[in-house]
Structure 1
Amino acid sequence: MADELEFRISSGLKNIIGKDLITDDFIAVFELVKNSYDAHADKVSITFEDDKIIILDTGKGMSLQDIKEKWLFVAYSAKRDGEEDEEFEDLNSDYREKIKAKRYYAGAKGIGRFSCDRLGLSLVLTTKKIGENSIEQLKIDWGKFEEDSKEEFVNIKVDHDTLDKYPLLKIENGTVLEIMGLQTPWPRQKLQNLKYSLEKLINPFGSLDKKNNDPFSIDITCKREEKADLKEEFLRDRINGRIENFIFETLNVKTTQIKTIIKKDWITTILIDRGTPIYEIREQNKKYSLLEDVIFHLFFLNTSAKNNFSRQMGLQPVNFGSVFLFKNGFRVYPFGNSGDDSLGIDQRHQQKFKGRLGSRDLLGRIELFTDNSPQFKEVSSRDGGLVETEGYSQLIASFYDKCLKRLERYVVDVQWAYSIDSNLREDKESDDISVISKSVGGRYLLGDIIKKLADNKDVEILSYNKDLVNIINEKLDNIPPEVFRDLTKIADKTNDQDFKDQISQAEKKYNTLLKEKEDALRRAIEEEELRIKAQEDARKAEEARKIEEDRRKKADEARKLAEIEAKEKELQRREEEIKRKEAEQRAAEAQKAKVTAETSLKYEKDKNTYLNATRKTLSDDAEELIHSIKVSAIGIDASLEALIRKIASGLKDDAVLLEEISHIKFIVEKVMKLSKLITKSNFKADQENKKVNVVEFVSEYITTYSFAYQDKIKIEFKSTSEFITRLSLLDLSIVIDNLISNSVKANADQILIEAIVKGSQLILSFSDNGKGVAEDFVNNPNLLFQLGSKTDVEGSGIGLYSVKRKMGEMYGDVRFAGNGKQLKGATFNLIFN
């Protein structure tokens, strides 16, 4: 026979249903407040001390038996089982009626009590049950549950005492929670945020059918913040005092609002615009069988309403929140939080920006009442909203179809109909409906909305604003004819015979006016036809006169024909002249093409001549080093010239002369090193790749080297970045020497080097104010970098070829950027990766 086994529960369960499940301090406080509400308390006070939070309520309290069988019974909920208040049937009538009036409970999972673990290290629970004299007290050290996870949950003991009195519990009945060893600090800003959140915990909007409107207040006390409270301009920013929300009474008359009430059998919708009723309709609840007690209440915030909100609340509406969800009078998170889009309002708004409202335009709530139906349960984390069930899907679908879309239809099709009536633009700044009421276009569009409701056979129009819909008292010539048909449908749907008679009389007047207009138009047409006939007769007479005149002018035609022939000959001569010029132009273009071809041939010949003269004995590297030695020699010569001029001028400053000589010695040493490299069989091995800050090296190199050309050229270097890579400093020196040498040969007296870092690349822009690159190379820049191609008569054609090759060996590149890019001469870009 098989054995029967049983579960064991680790003490680690405390963390799972405590601080690991409830990860937010505010949610933890909310859960404890909801427990007080479900205990039929009419008041909860929350006191913050240095390392303690005290939560006291005036609820029914608990006996020792309640503590054992309910509070210490993990995950058990008498509210869910329907046994929470059965024992109070025999109490006094006032309290019995109070319990009976509260049909719904805020919580029903049986784990909210573990919010205490989230807030502090230990808990003292003191409670006195209604109708009893003894006071029961529990002392819980949550740390005991964390000492050994192998210890079973039920074996961790909780201290209990029965007291005659307790200083913090001086009321007839209730419960006080003392949470000590706080897990996190509570500075002023956090206390303010808690107060702002508690403002929205219990439905602050009020309820259309007054459900759960029994008295319930929350007070916060923190003595250390009393002085700071006195400096706050707005009452809601003060920590101490009662939690209140006072803005929505003002919004009720300052903005457009819609209310939708869903019952088991009927759905009622009421639209009000700034205190003026627009319509009230009713329809059967055919699609939402799981919704039996739901209220939607939305406010559209135009510019005026947003400004009014900010003035009274001290913050913008977008920072207050948007559409909140309340279940049984208590808020469900995160619906309504600033930036939250659990309802998908903003996502939908982005798909049709001008035709739909976003969360920034809305303020309101969804209010759901349920006997803890499995269709509308909150997720266990308490801040993750409702479980996505079929009931939840019906709730969201009905919110869109029966509330939000109807509000959008009014706002977009009437208030935002600027193309129909430009005066409607002023409506967003108005606190009343006067702009729409004075706009024929706005009233016509409003009537169209009512007409569409009348067309829906499932909708019953209980009332509508006839004064706004009725535009037949306006100038009839401004009214389209379909208005009478639309208004008749509305009158038929509402069985309003008087309105129907008014429409009929107005339509007769309209038809009479229309007939008068048609008669006037017909007369105007007849007069126009007579005028046209008179013009036609005059035209025929004029034609007869012209025929006679033509007969008299035939003699002149022969003379004119001769003139035409002469003009044709002149035209032929001019055409031949044009053809001759075109032939000359084609010949000139052919000559130009020939010169271009001869130029290309010349450069190719120079290149081949150089190659034939050098490639027989020297490698590419040797050629580049010899060229670098030549450039360095030019630098030595220039420095010696400068030194001679200073000595000749009578300069006796030894420090200056020594500095000049040291510069010359620097270049000489460089030439000697290059010469030694040429004599080695494999001098490539001496070109070590080192980790180099390229920008810093170039800056220092230019500073050290530029003295050689200080009388001929000025070198300026700009950079605000750094760039580190591995390369040969010798190769980089050769590249810089060749570019400076080319600038000197181009008669430049100024060089600008600018370092620019773009992502993983460094671009050294090298510009001068010389004569620039010849036009032939500008049109074909690839020739610049070929061996043997010379950009000036003094050059050998190796300089730019060496630069191209050395940059390639350093995994970089060089490109001709053009003439006149920075300075008036040529610009080359050195690219390092």
Structure 2
Amino acid sequence: MENLKFTIEDREIAELLGRQNFSTKESAVFELIKNSYDAGSETCNIYIDDHYIKIIDTGKGMNHEDFKTNWMHVGKSNKGYKDEINNRIFTGSKGVGRFALARLGNHVKVLSKKNTENAIIWKTDWITSGFEETNVDFDQGTYIEILDLRDKWRSKDINELIEFLNRAYKSKEMEVFVHFKDNEPHSIQSKFQNLKIGVNYVTKILLNYNSTNKKLTVKTESDEFKSEITEIVKPLFATYYKEDFSMEDELKISSEIEDIDFYLTDLGNFSAEFYFGLEKQPKETAKKFMYKYNGLSDLNKGIVLYRNDFSISSFDGKKDWLDIASRARKSPAAASHLTGSWRVRLNQMSGFVMIDKKRNANLKDMANRQGLEEDEFYQVFIEIIQFGISRFEKNRQSIIRKIVEKNNIENPNEYEDKKKLKEFLKQPTTITKMSKQEIVSLATEIKEIQQEAKERSKVFKESELKHKYDVRILNVLATQGLRASAVAHELQNKRNALSSGYQDVVNALVEYGFWEKLNSDEYTRVSYMNVPKTLENLEEINVKLIAFLDVILNKIEKKKFNSKVESIESAVKRIIDIWKQQYIWIDFEIIVRNEIQREYKFTDDVFEVILDNLILNSIQHNEMKDKLLIKIIVEIIGESVSINYSDNGVGLHRKYNNDPKRILEVHETTRSDGHGLGMWIVDNTAHMYGGKVIDINGENGFNIQLTMKG
């Protein structure tokens, strides 16, 4: 059989692997910088003028054999993982980077010389190519000249190139200089060098993923708040945070990836470094939240993905590849929101993620080199990073919430009475008799009112956003409830058939003389043909359907939202009696202490929302238990109502051991079919009535303590 090889025209190769493969002229220049780096050069000088681009390095150069067997062999790379001589990890591997030249110009000349060997010159117009020995005036390195440029290069383009390279190139091992016409050369410096806390950012977030034990270490170093913050939180908590998380536990439920253990192991170790900062805030806001710095410079650099100090194309900081903006839109709660989850905004975060060519080989380049293949490894990679960011968000929000709580306690009546203003409004003519000092005092009071009005307006807008966020979630649940109630009303008309259907069928079979025969061994041996057993199962389902009807139709009665609770003990017992009818495998113990007969501030539905969600949570996590004990202790202390709820079930999942209150976050769940809203609703309801969740413990069964003002 005759051996054949594909023959491809040079012009077509240049078109496919040059012009179409490099989407921007900046990325093409960047690719040629990589070649200089891989050659071991200490410097790379880029000269750009109206009619040419020159790239000069002092690397090891190429000889006759290199040009013939490597340079002219498309798709072949002589680069392994690391250059053992200079300890640099090679950036190239596919053998197509040289076609970046075709993206930049129609005519190219390459002069290259290895130390002590003859220099070689290679020329091409992308139709024909050739090389020969020549003489050069340098000892070692490569000189590239590109003519008949495809793009115009103006000052604006040079600035964009420099900005791009500052983001895309992070190494200090090779100096890169950009020369434009007769201007002074510009040295490329990584955007992430020499950043200072309090100048460029207020918090640094460090992530380190270890694929061996599948753990993510999250660490933050912060100087966001004034020293007075130590009156509210522990000094170390405000400035430093570190915790390890099992990604196996965290992602097994939330991720859509099957066999996630495999991907977590084979993904490989990687790290990330992010910088958080705030834009300039109104003085009152900065004071209110105890911000140490008000406004930072030059923070918005994007998040860059580096593979060994070189950014991956389309991950150079311009693209929101971590979906920071999308996360914020889905959860728009402010950091001061008492129950909603705050998400960092796109303009508040910059930084980089570091992966390795060998260690993270499963994060593969796309065929056109314009990004990464978005396969399962990539998805798990993104999910790990997003989880790490969420831990910073939660930690910061917990501090902000403590500040809000302190402000509310210290300033129950936020604004003092304005004496001079009251006097003036009562009798305006008194202004003519006021002294200069009194008029100044009056003007000050008016200015304070104006400032208060601005602050109130801002608080109102924040409150509006908070409620919009809550309503969005609750609307979904309400809609589901209305759909369920519509079905319940339809089934209510069939209630008699549901309650008596089983007995009616049995009576009919007895009367026809079939029942005794159907109960014989012959007809009950095969389970799916066992008529009596099938009827019993249907009867059990009918009983549950009737209970469902009672629950649904009872929950949406209008009077429940209007009638105030007069007896907590009676309200709790009414709720529990319904659950007892449905779940005979649950025992309830109810204790109500210090209650006196009075009308409380909340209505029947409030207790139902809290207890129903807690009981449902216990049932769903303990369905395999034969017997479950639920204990509810309600204690009235002055105006406060304290609820202690506990069960003897399996308790909390191990991932909540260090932070049990995490279960209160929106959509936090360990069940694959769960929505993660039940405990959030409990927490939200407590806050609506001036209370909060005091404590959660999940070691010996599940235990939660919360308060409300009644």
Q: Which has the higher helix share?
A: 1
TM-score, reference length from structure 2: 0.48
